[in-house]
Amino acid sequence: MICVDRTEEVWSALSVVTDPEIDESVVSLDFVTDVKVASDSRVEIDFRLPTYWCAPNFAFLMASDMRDAVAALEWVTEVSVKLSDHFSADLINRSVALRQDFRDAFPGETDGDLSSIRRKFLGYAFERRQELLLRYLVAKGQTPDWFRRALLSELMALPLDPEGISLRNLYLFTMRRMIPGGLQESLAFVTVNGESLEAQDFKAYLRQITGVRRTAEFNGFLCRSLLTERVKRMGETGDKGEGRSTKDDLSANGER
Amino acid sequence: MFTTKSGEKIFIVDGHVTLWDGSDENIKNRYGEEFIKCFYDYHKLSPQEYIWPYKKYQKYSEEDFEQDVFQNGYVDVAIFNPQFLGDFYYSGFSNVARNEGFRKKHPGQVITNGYWDPRNEEVGLKQLEEDVQRYKWPGVKLYTAEWKGDSKGWKLTDPWSYRYLERSQELGLKNIHVHKGPTIRPLNKDAFDVGDVDEVASMFPKLNFIVEHCGLPRLSDFCYIAAQEPNVYAGLAVAIALIHTRPRYFSEIISELLFWLGPDRILFGSDYALWQPKWLIERFIDLELPEDLAAETGQITFEAKKKILGENAARLYNIEIPGRNESGAQAGSQKPEPAASVA
């Protein structure tokens, strides 16, 4: 018997795993094709990517993040993540199953683990989400001066509509991952390096981080288009991710 | 020539075209098959009426090219930027001898660039000299993501690449088209990083680096580099294909490029046969930036469009534009100032 609730729990756990490049959930991007929960609480996850050549380092990051996100569910005994139709699928699948480091998957082709690239893309996600929140708050009348000085507690205290709350949550989620620890009295808006915006020309700063967001959106669009064509071409039938694949925006990230 | 509704003629240089052979007969292995299929998925970004059947797309004829590029596609001069991909295709995906034959059939209409691969080391350097003598290439297309044996790619900053760049400069291979692709060692780094362009552009100020696909998927990184390096150009191939399916995104990209690079360092390229120049050019001529973007970076002008569609490439490649006697005289030696500085 497959437990429907548990399958849903797995999908929900997967929805917080993002493609680092696009900063969107692997579920909303339709990368995950199937989730199976066996009676002994073993979980199998199948996923695919838009091209046969998608960067193996990102594929590895996503596969291991999916494994970890699902393994964190209390009842899960074992997780297997399987990437298909990718030139390094075998290496990635084996390595993720063995909980190896990326270095072990591609011996001789790396000079370290993936932590620096992970940090770099977390930084992009931070800037992208900050930009969306800043533009939203600018439209609501906040001034550059306020952004320079506002404390996290003040940002939290702002009365916002649901859209604003969602943007704030997405931003704070990434901020916490960037700067772990108690942040209540720290500045709400800092650069990716943790510096205050005091010395920044606000307009120029906004333009700079807008570029980051546009790049991510462009990549997201291209990925979706290529994946759609690839799926059509391969004549895939019975897509299990149906109904989850059309959410197109940040709110689909499912982060709370 | 493209003629506008008001009768004005626009000289068109397509900065990125190919005659490829991805036919079953030429495919060596699964990788070659996946490669042309992936290309076909990109092709589907075209308007419906321009989409070919897969078989035709694998290997189209020279007559198809003539019709789509020169007769229907408004293109006055087409620049061939070949990809070898010898690990995937028996006689190469592009074949420089075939390109040369096509060039001879179309004097004045075709410019053929070559390629080199630093992993061929000393032997390749000799080959390059012979090729340049035989084909008179004015430039090269570099495909850093190309597989070769165990290697899944290389960097412009590799020691052998430096030697090839030095030799290119000596041989007069002035225009270096760089496709920034993934799978470059070490794999744990950001493989799409455009940082190596930054370094070599500074080291070889006499070479022009045309970054195809304007650094996508790292548009913003590319823009910051290009703003600082006056010999770095943006090739619009791939990006411009979005003008059909996602005009808003394309508007954002072009406004970003205009802001950081200015109108003198952006080159049109259809990437034929991925996409046909006809619809790309027609839509680009009609393009108007949405108000909010125009407010930030200014509206794209007709003059800027003319530069992007032909004048900029004409300057880099010494192409004479009919009716303009002074054109091409500087041969790209005049470096425009960056439109904005990062500071």
- Phi, psi angles (nearest 5°) of residue B328: 80, -5
Nearest to B38 among A52, A218, A225 (CB): A52
Within 8 A by CB and 6+ apart from A195, the residues are: none
Domain presence at residue A178: no
A55 touching B, CB under 8 A? yes
Average pLDDT (B98-124) is: 97
Each as own residue / partner, the long-range contacts of residues A179-186 (CB below 8 Å, 24 or more positions apart, any chain) are A183/A152, A184/A151, A184/A152, A184/A153, A185/A151, A185/A152, A185/A153, A186/A151, A186/A152
Domain presence at residue A28: yes
pLDDT for the residue numbered A77: 95
Q: In what order do the strands lie in the sheet with A42-47?
A: A32-37, A42-47, A78-83
Domain presence at residue A63: yes
**Inter-chain residue contact A117 with B38, CB threshold 8 Å:** no
Conformation bin of residue A141: beta by default, left when phi > 0, alpha when psi is -120 to 50: left
Going by C-alpha positions, the residue among B160, B229, B217, B158 that lies closest to residue B191 is B217
Q: In what order do the strands lie in the sheet with B110-112?
A: B13-17, B77-80, B110-112
pLDDT for the residue numbered B335: 40
Domain presence at residue A26: yes
Number of separate domains in chain A: 1
Strand intervals (E) in chain A: 18-19, 24-25, 32-37, 42-47, 78-83
Residue B181, pLDDT > 70, answer: no
pLDDT for the residue numbered B325: 54
pLDDT for the residue numbered A2: 57
pLDDT for the residue numbered B185: 55
Most confident of A199-203, A248-252, B118-122: B118-122
Contact B221, B215 (CB under 8 A): yes
- How far apart CA A43 and CA B148 sit, in angstroms, is 38
Average pLDDT (B274-303) is: 94
Tens of pLDDT, residue by residue over B118-155, are 999 999 999 999 999 999 999 999 998 888 998 888 88
Return the amino acid letter for B261. L
Residue A110, pLDDT > 90, answer: no
pLDDT for the residue numbered A245: 38
* Alpha-carbon gap: A110 to the closest alpha carbon of chain B (Å): 4
Nearest to A215 among B44, B191, B220 (CB): B220
- The C-alpha angle B317, B318, B322, rounded to 5 degrees, equals 120
pLDDT for the residue numbered A72: 96
- How far apart CA B39 and CA B57 sit, in angstroms, is 9
Residue B6, pLDDT > 50, answer: yes
Residue A82, pLDDT > 60, answer: yes
Give the DSSP H or E segment for A95: helix A89-97
Domain presence at residue A66: yes
- Phi, psi angles (nearest 5°) of residue A45: -125, 130
Domain presence at residue A203: no
- Domain range for A80 is 4-114
B83 vs A contacts (CB less than 8 Å): none
Task: Tell me the HSE value of B307 on the side-chain side, using a 13 A CA sphere.
Answer: 15
Confidence at A200, pLDDT banded by 50, 70, 90: confident
Tens of pLDDT, residue by residue over B215-231, are 888 888 899 999 999 99
pLDDT for the residue numbered B68: 98
Nearest to A218 among B41, B253, B259 (CB): B253
Domain presence at residue A58: yes
pLDDT for the residue numbered B343: 36
**Residue A105 is part of a domain; what is its CATH number?**
3.30.300.130
Tens of pLDDT, residue by residue over A223-246, are 999 999 999 988 854 444 443 433
- How far apart CA A124 and CA A192 sit, in angstroms, is 8
Q: DSSP states of B36-57 as a string?
A: HHHHHHHHTTS-GGGPPPHHHH
DSSP state of A15: T
Contact A8, A2 (CB under 8 A): no
Nearest to A57 among B35, B188, B218 (CB): B188
pLDDT for the residue numbered A247: 36
Quickly count helices (H) and strands (E) in chain A: 9, 5
Contact B213, B238 (CB under 8 A): yes
Task: Tell me the HSE value of B147 on the side-chain side, using a 13 A CA sphere.
Answer: 13
Contact residues of B toward A, CB < 8 A: 31, 34-35, 37-38, 40-42, 44-45, 145, 152, 182-183, 185-192, 216-220, 223, 242, 245-246, 249, 252-253, 256, 259, 296
Within 8 A by CB and 6+ apart from B153, the residues are: B144, B145, B146, B147, B181, B182, B183, B184, B185, B191
Contact A241, A25 (CB under 8 A): no
Confidence at B331, pLDDT banded by 50, 70, 90: very low
Residue B287, pLDDT > 90, answer: yes
Q: Which residue has the higher pLDDT, B244 or B338?
A: B244
pLDDT for the residue numbered B329: 39
Domain presence at residue A121: no
Q: Which residue has the higher pLDDT, A119 or B13?
A: B13
Tokens standing for residue B10: 């626009």
**Inter-chain residue contact A233 with B253, CB threshold 8 Å:** no
**Inter-chain residue contact A218 with B296, CB threshold 8 Å:** no
Lowest mean pLDDT among A60-69, A130-139, A182-191, B158-167: A182-191
Residue B60, pLDDT > 80, answer: yes
Q: DSSP states of B153-204 as a string?
A: ---TTSHHHHHHHHHHHHHT--EEEEE--S--SSTTS-TT--HHHHHHHHH-
Contact A81, A63 (CB under 8 A): yes
10 Å CB burial of residue B23 (0-12, 13-18, 19+) is middle
Mean pLDDT of chain B: 91
